[in-house]
Chains A and B, each alone.
Chain A
Amino acid sequence: MAYLDHAATTPMLPEAVEAMTKQLTVVGNASSLHAAGRRARRTVEEARETLADALGARPSEVVLTSGGTEADNLAVKGLYWSRRAADPARTRILASPVEHHAVLDAVHWLGEHEGATVEYLPVDGYGRVHPEALREALVRNPDDVALATVMWANNEIGTVMPVRELADVAAEFGVPLHADAVQAFGQLPVDFAASGLAAMTVSGHKVGGPYGIGALLLGREYSPVPVLHGGGQERHVRSGTLDVPAVAAFAVAGRIAAERRAWFATEIGGLRDDLVAAVRAAAPDAILGGDPDPAGPGSLGRLPANAHFTFPGCEGDSLLLLLDAQGIECSTGSACTAGVAQPSHVLLATGTDPDLARGTLRFSLGHTSTRADVDAVAEAIGPAVERARSAGLS
């Protein structure tokens, strides 16, 4: 088996499994005042400090959520509502068109139901938003903008955004910028304080932690309107009893992911480079999606673990089936409706022809990836592409 879909989810780190297992047998609601509650609270707060440390944030800026989707919804909807409540003129949302659906569908919903005007920022052929594009959109009328949201790094094609520069532009106009950093955490240096972001999303199961836990890093001056109402456990912007075992395990995974980031970028990034070379050798007409520069001085590049390809004349689904049959697990990297592949909105935003956009595969590596995984792809991809091409586009 060659598991190359770590961007979907990556195996839990043994240390995280241990931390979680240890907490599963401990009773205590972190909001309770008795000893058991205090014990649970202590576990949560230590985890919060660990996560804050791993992400360059203050502990009070870590709002724990049920995952990336909830954090994205809280940031986008919550900031929209609070900013509009402060000034009814603020109804414009600036969003990159390559966002994950957790952001894209949330802003779309605000447009449909909450009177928002959603403006998609232009991207280049790599799917990157340039600071000038954000400036142009803001300068037109800074007063009617509720928020801007641009992901740190794209989950499909791996392109890294100039987050710091974008945040500087947004700050110039007093507009909060949110970034979905779900894919960036553990792969890129992610420092919330240095980024200048108002809000930032991270997720547990993408960094070797458990499913169902994530966080919104939230600047202390922001009070988004809650999406979930209730006990107000998390800074009164997020309610729900905290999942202590998941929080503890998330913190362990997040700390290790941050500690191993440089190793990850070098080692896993190296395997990724080999995978890209192998695919290109076997299928010379394959098109590498996103920024081809693996990163470096003066370049933002791409996520070290991401390799995204378009295979002209092939259906991504066919390739997936053929590789799956040989034990290679990857993704077409596109959105699904009842399992039906649609051309990826990310590729379409980069100006890719819709027919071409059907022939995509995303290989995403992770902490358990090995040379053998790359070798398996190198061996299987050529014949698979040939066969998928003969099956054509239905």
Chain B
Amino acid sequence: MTEIPAAPQRRLRVLAAMSGGVDSAVAAARAAEAGHDVTGVHLALSANPQSFRTGARGCCTIEDSRDARRAADVIGIPFYVWDLADRFREDVVDDFVAEYEAGRTPNPCLRCNEKIKFAALLDKALALGFDAVCTGHYAQVITDADGNRELHRASDMAKDQSYVLGVLDDRQLAHALFPLGDTVTTKDEIRAEAERRGLAVAKKPDSHDICFIADGDTQGFLASRLGKAEGDIVDEAGAKLGTHEGAYGYTIGQRKGLRIGTPAPDGKPRYVLDISPVNNTVTVGPVEALDVTALTALKPRWCGTAPAAAGTYTAQLRAHGGETRVHAELVDGTLNVTFDEPVRGVAPGQAIVLYDGTRVVGSATIATTERATAAA
């Protein structure tokens, strides 16, 4: 299997994933400009033919596919549409629903990068003779003098998307190209570059966070998949405060939309502290009860070799979250993490990504959390 060598001068056969948005179009254009032999591919990820015909924003509308095609025309590269809808449904959408059903909060973008873009797509690309997959993610792959590959945050911290790439292992990184990662570029500048390159997607609005929920209504999407399952909303002592139509519709740390009639005794707002799919109950309580001091996380994936000993890192717990200092140790495949300062709103199912400076060390899926105060 060919790997990207340290010298970037080599002309690579690159498969550019083009969503129809501005970032992936500019990324493909930059890869072509750098002298690589680039072929564009739009991933059809929705099996619902309606979504190819309706103009809804998000991924995989016929409009997105056409926008990607037009961008490829302008760049002057071949373009194809690949149907990965079955894989996407199995590996991302069904997993997303199952995770919510189990009371966890998944991140489908990480999952898609791990299972689709840098697995199904990458494997097919490599088999067809390509050297690398190129995307519009803002992150950097840096190869040091010894040829070791490292994934780093984007030069522009505000645009950084290394969190959703934290699941990639060394082999995947060896075949990843992120042409947008090494420049300090605001979105406006990327749009200006697209404009300068004659790409019509320059003015296209950004896509939604979850591409397969076109209208952004995650609750409605889950309800359509899982049906109604009425249950109780209780306080930390177990007293019933209200009812819900499906515990899956809640996320730890959520404050809005609880629809609890009785105010809290202290008059302060209440937050979702816990979701129990077994009892179908949602536990709410004061904000302090959200404070997490430690967590365990499973399925660790390392961007390189696994750390041999316990260490101190910074951690990111959600896509647009800040950094927090942690102490982490790998014990029998489980990552044990303690926080220097308690953090709020940590939900099982989310990914914790560990950083050493700007370098991504690895990631794992949060399984359990330890609260500062005893929650339910």
Please list the residues of chain A having a beta carbon within 8 angstroms of any beta carbon in chain B.
317-318, 320-322, 324-325, 337-341, 387-388, 390-392, 394
Question: Are A322 and B120 in contact, CB atoms less than 8 angstroms apart?
Answer: no
9 further A-B contacts with Cβ under 8 Å, apart from A387-B129, A394-B120, A394-B124, are A317-B83, A318-B128, A321-B80, A325-B78, A339-B44, A339-B69, A341-B83, A392-B127, A394-B83
Closest CB-CB distance, A316 to chain B, in whole Å?
11
**With contact pairs A321-B78, A340-B44 given, residues A391 and B128 touching in the complex (Cβ less than 8 Å):** yes
* B84 located at the interface, meaning its Cβ lies under 8 Å from any Cβ of chain A in the complex: yes
Q: Which of A317, A324, A387, A392 is B82 in contact with, Cβ under 8 Å?
A: A317
Chain A residues near B339 (CB-CB < 8 A): none
B66-107 near A? 1/0 per residue, CB < 8 Å = 100100000000101111111100000000000000000000
Interface size class of B (residues with CB under 8 A): 20 to 34
| CB <8 Å contact, A322 and B129 | yes
Q: Does A391 contact B127, Cβ atoms closer than 8 Å? A: yes
Tell whether, in the assembled complex, residue B83 and residue A321 are in contact, meaning their CB atoms are under 8 Å apart.
no
Given A321-B39, A325-B78, A394-B87, residue A337 in contact with residue B127 (CB < 8 A): no
Chain B min CB distance to A129 (Å): 28
> Which residues of chain A are within 8 angstroms of B124 by Cβ–Cβ distance?
318, 391-392, 394
CB distance from B51 to the nearest CB of A (A): 9
Report B-chain residues with C-beta under 8 Å of the C-beta of A388: 128
Q: Which residues of A contact B172 (CB under 8 A)?
A: none
| Nearest CB on A from B71, distance (A) | 14
Contact A338 B62 (CB under 8 A): yes
* B265 close to chain A: CB less than 8 A: no
| A320 vs B39: C-alpha distance when bound (angstroms) | 13
| Cβ A340 vs Cβ B127 within 8 A | no
Within the assembled complex, what's the spacing in Å between the Cα atoms of A347 and B69? 28
Q: Which 3 residue pairs are nearest across A and B when measured between Cβ atoms?
A: A391-B127, A339-B81, A338-B52
Contact of B128 with A340 in the complex, beta carbons under 8 Å: no
B65: interface (CB < 8 Å): yes
Please report the C-alpha to C-alpha distance between residue A201 and residue B127 in the assembled complex, in whole angstroms: 43
Query: Nearest chain A CB to B189's CB is how many angstroms away?
Result: 31
List 25 A-B residue pairs with CB atoms under 8 Å apart, sorted by A's residue number. Answer: A317-B80, A321-B39, A321-B78, A321-B80, A322-B128, A325-B78, A338-B44, A338-B52, A338-B53, A338-B62, A338-B66, A338-B81, A339-B42, A339-B44, A339-B80, A340-B44, A340-B85, A387-B128, A387-B129, A388-B128, A390-B127, A391-B128, A394-B82, A394-B87, A394-B124
Is the C-beta of B205 less than 8 angstroms from some C-beta in chain A? no
Q: What's the minimum C-beta distance from A298 to chain B, rounded to whole angstroms?
A: 42
Q: Which of A320, A341, A391 has the most CB of B within 10 A?
A: A391
Judge whether B128 and A321 touch: CB under 8 Å: yes
User: B51-63 toward A: CB 8 Å interface, digit per residue (1/0)?
Assistant: 0110000000010
B322 contacts partner chain A, Cβ-Cβ < 8 Å: no
B127 contact set on A, CB distance < 8 A: 387, 390-392
A391–B82 Cα distance when bound, in Å, is 13
Q: A151 vs B129: C-alpha distance in the bound complex, in angstroms?
A: 40
Query: Which residues of A sit under 8 angstroms from B128, Cβ to Cβ?
Result: 318, 321-322, 387-388, 391
Q: Which residue of A lies closest to B80 (CB)?
A: A321
B16-55 vs A, CB cutoff 8 Å, 1 = contact: the mask equals 0000000000000000000000010010100001001100
Query: Which residue on chain B has the smallest CB distance to residue A389?
Result: B127
The smallest beta-carbon distance between A383 and chain B, in angstroms, is 10
A340 touches B52 (CB 8 A): yes
Q: Are A337 and B78 in contact (CB under 8 A)?
A: no
A322, A339, A340, A391 pick with most chain B CB within 10 angstroms: A340
- What mask results when residues 120 to 144 of chain B are scored 1 for a CB within 8 Å of chain A, else 0? 1001100111000000000000000
Bound-state CA distance A388–B128 (Å) is 6
Query: Which B residue sits closest to A324, measured CB to CB?
Result: B78
Residues of A within 8 A of B62 (CB): 338
Chain A residue, CB-CB nearest to B13: A325
A338-B129 Cα distance, complex, nearest whole Å:
25
Determine the chain B residues whose CB is within 8 A of the CB of A341 once the complex forms: 83
Q: In the complex, A229 Cα to B128 Cα: how many Å?
A: 51
- How far is the CB of A228 from the nearest CB of chain B, in Å? 24
Distance to closest chain A CB from B333 (angstroms)? 30
Min CB gap A340→B, angstroms: 5
Shortest B204–chain A CB gap in Å is: 17
| A318 CB contacts on chain B under 8 angstroms | 124, 128
B73 to chain A, nearest CB (A): 13
Measured between alpha carbons, how far is A325 from B53 in the docked complex, in Å? 30
Q: Which residues of A contact B65 (CB under 8 A)?
A: 338-339
- Min CB–CB distance B371 → chain A (angstroms): 43
Q: Which residues of B contact A392 (CB under 8 A)?
A: 124, 127
Q: How distant is A386 from chain B, measured CB to nearest CB, in Å?
A: 10
Bound complex: CA A339 to CA B128 (Å):
19
A340 touches which one: B66, B81, B120, B129 (CB < 8 A)?
B81
Chain A residue at minimal CB-CB distance from B81: A339
Interface centre among A387, A388, A394 (most CB of B within 10 A): A394
Residues of B within 8 A of A322 (CB): 128-129
Asked if A340 contacts B78 (CB within 8 A), the reply is: no
From the candidates B52, B87, B123, name the one contacting A337 in the complex (CB within 8 A).
B52
Of chain B, the residue at the smallest CB distance from A339 is: B81
Distance of A323 from chain B, by nearest CB (Å): 11
Minimum CB–CB distance from A80 to chain B (whole Å) comes to 25
Chain A residue contacts of B81, Cβ below 8 A: 338-340
Q: How far is the CA of A321 from the CA of B77 in the complex (A)?
A: 12
Cα–Cα, bound, A390→B81 (Å): 19
Name the residue on B nearest A319 (C-beta). B128
Residues from chain A with a CB closer than 8 A to the CB of B80 are 317, 320-321, 339
Chain B residues 322 to 360 lying within 8 A of chain A, measured CB to CB, are: none
Q: Complex: how many Å from CA A6 to CA B9?
A: 40
Q: In the bound complex, how far is the Cα of B83 from the Cα of A324, in angstroms?
A: 18
| A171 CA / B49 CA spacing, docked (Å) | 40
Which residues in A have their C-beta under 8 angstroms from that of B44?
Answer: 338-340
Query: Which residues of chain B have C-beta atoms less than 8 A from A390's C-beta?
Result: 127
Q: Which residues of B contact A339 (CB under 8 A)?
A: 42, 44, 65, 69, 80-81
A320 to B128, CA, bound (A): 11
Residue among A322, A339, A387 with max Cβ neighbours from chain B (10 Å): A339
Report chain A residues within 8 Å CB of B69: 339
* Chain A residue with the shortest CB-CB distance to B66: A338
Chain B: CB-nearest residue to A392: B127
Q: How far is the CB of A1 from chain B (nearest CB, A)?
A: 14
- Minimum CB distance partner of B84 in chain A: A394
Distance between A138 CB and nearest chain B CB, rounded to angstroms:
34
> In the complex, A43 Cα to B128 Cα: how many Å?
53
* A69 shortest CB reach to chain B, Å: 19
CB distance from A381 to the nearest CB of B (A): 15
Contacts of A321 in B (CB 8 A): 39, 78, 80, 128
Q: Would you give the shortest CB distance from A391 to chain B, in whole angstroms?
A: 3
In the assembled complex, the Cα of A317 lies from the Cα of B128 at a distance in Å of: 11
